[in-house]
Amino acid sequence: MLSWLRRDLAANPARCTVAYWHHPLFSSGEHGNRTQVRTVWSALYNANADVVINGHDHDYERFAPQRPFGKLDNSRGIPEFVVGTGGRELRPFGDVQPHSQARSAGAFGVLKLTLGTGSYNWKFGPAAGKTFTDSGTGRCH
């Protein structure tokens, strides 16, 4: 997978790159950080990717832009969204990881991500009867 990803990123440079897969590198949820995906994150960071979306933990969490080893990087870092709020039971958070900016373990819902020319918008929409939301805008690298 890693070889394919590196080749694909090199062959298809994009103005705004989003990647998604199951296990998050950074997570304050029940399963915590999954360091085995750091090589994938590193390939994306080296290719100037813009957003990573993961699931696995049954909660919602948004992280500030980071480097693969967790250092805050507002110029080239990648924000990560953990969105495991699709309908199975929600689970409480453990230790809050550095650079976690928004989180909820009390609302099922969906993340809407809109890619624009050089920017993206996100909005977490909760299921009926819940009030947690998270939204914002980011710039692509």
What average pLDDT does the segment 110-120 reach?
Answer: 94
pLDDT for res 11: 95
- pLDDT for res 73: 98
Encoded tokens for 22 = 């199951």
Reply yes or no on whether the pLDDT at 16 is more than 90.
yes
Predicted local distance difference test score (pLDDT) of residue 13: 86
Instruction: List, in sequence order, every residue forming a beta bridge with 100; answer none if it has no partner.
Output: 63
CATH fit for domain 2-139, picks 3.60.21.10, 3.40.50.300, 3.30.1330.10, 3.20.20.210: 3.60.21.10
∠ Cα 32 36 41 (to 5°): 95
Give the pLDDT mean for 56-76: 97
Residue 3 has a pLDDT of 95
Burial of residue 92 (number of CB atoms within 10 Å: 0-12, 13-18, 19+): exposed
Containing 124, the helix (H) or strand (E) segment is strand 119-126
Whether 83 contacts 53, CB under 8 Å: yes
Neighbours of 29 (CB within 10 A): 25
